[in-house]
Amino acid sequence: MEGFDAIVLAYRAPQGQEKDYSKVAFHLTDLLAQSQTRLIVVGGAGSMYLDDERMTRLVDTLPKTLPYYPTVNQMAIASLIFKNSAANVTFFSPAEFFDPEGKETGNYTLTNDILGHNAAGESRISYADYASALVAMIEEGRYQNEHIGIYENEKRS
């Protein structure tokens, strides 16, 4: 994978094959461990912490009976594989509500690995703002070897 400044992984495992998130994480981090190529993972909000002590993640608070729980749980496990690897990985988690219909506002905040909320208590981001932030992150070379998040600053009317 030499010759690339960055690779973006945006992957959804098929239902029933959620353990593939870990397999992909191990495979890519092994491939990139000795490389200068940066991996940016489109992660999930479930891996974000809810407290400054970093004891509780969003996934830890979700009922295991939710139909999407296996995806959230396995993506959170994969986030730890990426974090503990020798590869240059940025795990980029969206807000709790990842809005496919939302407009690009340019009005968002990037956070560390603690889930962020705006002044109205909302944790949301549009796909468009997320994509814009991702491109800027690549172009600016920021947030290498970090787990970061993003949320929209203002409440929608």
Work out the mean pLDDT of the chain and round it to a whole number.
Answer: 94
> At residue 105, does pLDDT exceed 90?
yes
| Three-state DSSP string of the chain | CCCCCEEEECCCCCCCCCCHHHHHHHHHHHHHCCCCCEEEEECCHHHCECCCCCCCEHHHHCCCCCCCHHHHHHHHHHHHHHHCCCCCEEEEECCCEEECCCCCCCCEEEECCECCCCCCCCCEEEHHHHHHHHHHHHHHCCCCCCEEEEEECCCCC
Mean pLDDT of the 82-86 span: 95
- Which pLDDT score is estimated for 143? 96
What pLDDT digit, counting tens, does each position of 108-143 carry? 999 999 999 999 999 999 999 999 999 999 999 999
What's the CA gap between 157 and 154, in Å, rounded? 9
> At residue 157, does pLDDT exceed 60?
no
- Which pLDDT score is estimated for 156? 59
pTM of whole model > 0.85?
yes
